[in-house]
Amino acid sequence: MIQGYAIHGMPDEALRIFSQMLKLNLKPDHVILVALLSACNHAGLIDEGWKHFNSIKPVHGIQPTMEHYACMVDLLSRRGRLREAFDFIKEMPYDANANVWGSLLGSCKIHNEVEIGRAAADHLFGIEGWNIGNYVLMSNIYAANGKWDGVEHVRREMKTKVQRKPAGCSWIVVGRKNNVFVATDLCHPQRHLIYNLLINLDKHLKDPLVKMDSESWRNNGPANSETVDDAGLVDDNDKDHLDAFYSILVKKESSKRIGSGGFFEELESLEEINIRAREWHCPACYNVLGVIERYKVANP
């Protein structure tokens, strides 16, 4: 139950269940303590996380495992306390594995931290030099900070160590059928309609996305009081196209403005859209939906 509450974003319930366990003199094992730290991680409860981590051995008589340390690294680094997380890794009684260093590197990407990111990347290159995702992350950190020499260095290093990355794909289930898309793919039977839509959207979303501060969007979300028009994200010429795209993705409606027919009409049955990635969440996907959602909040 503790793990379930943690996964589903209910950390208060997870902590309450754990407190009840202790009152009933039920002794937690290392798995329960990992779930507890995960709950603190999901809620960003750093002080609470430290309290439970520091009690693992003296209170519960359990030697902290790599999983417990990994939870703390993730908790600290996600909240921007990268130096603290890095120092914590160096003081671990174990050699940190790829999960630990990968968590730190991913957070360095979010917070644009070059120095610690490079240290984490160097360890990852040694542990799993085959994983192209680590090189891409480090290259993106350099690029976000305008360090183009670093970008070129990482890309040269990647070419010498890593085989070509297998192409990723996107898919959507419509009418119990998987519709799979790969870049430059020409296999979908309605590819002409789909590509025409994408070309049209690209023209009208590119400028708003360039202007959009993705970090501000993650922090403020659609509740931000700044309107889309005030932010300069969407002009009058874009609104019809955003409405059309919004009607497909969110309202599940077909739109005559972009063409009706099989594939898009079937999208009406969708109740939600999940955005997932094999290695990490794709910020670009969220930014596109972010622009649309900010427009719809400002223009209900």
- What tens-digit pLDDT sequence spans the chain (300 residues)? 998 888 888 889 999 999 999 999 999 999 999 999 999 998 889 999 999 999 999 999 999 999 999 999 999 999 999 999 999 999 999 999 999 999 999 999 999 999 999 999 999 999 998 898 999 999 999 999 999 999 999 999 888 887 665 666 777 777 777 777 776 667 777 777 777 777 777 766 666 665 554 444 444 443 333 333 333 334 444 444 444 444 444 444 444 444 444 444 444 444 555 555 444 455 556 666 666 666 555 555
DSSP 8-state code for residue 69: H
Find the angle CA(102)-CA(104)-CA(110) to the nearest 5 degrees: 105
Give Cα separations from 57 to 49, 54, 61, 62 (angstroms).
Answer: 14, 7, 4, 5
* pLDDT at residue 6 in the model: 84
| Domain edges within the chain | 2-161, 185-298
Rounded to two decimals, what is the model's pTM?
0.58
Cα–Cα distance measured from residue 37 to residue 68, given in angstroms and rounded to the nearest whole number: 7
- Alpha carbons within 13 A on the beta-carbon side of 234: 24
Which of 1.25.40.10, 3.10.105.10, 1.10.510.10, 1.20.1090.10 is the CATH number of 2-161?
1.25.40.10
Query: Residues with Cβ < 8 Å from 52, sequence gap 6 or more?
Result: 33, 36, 37, 40
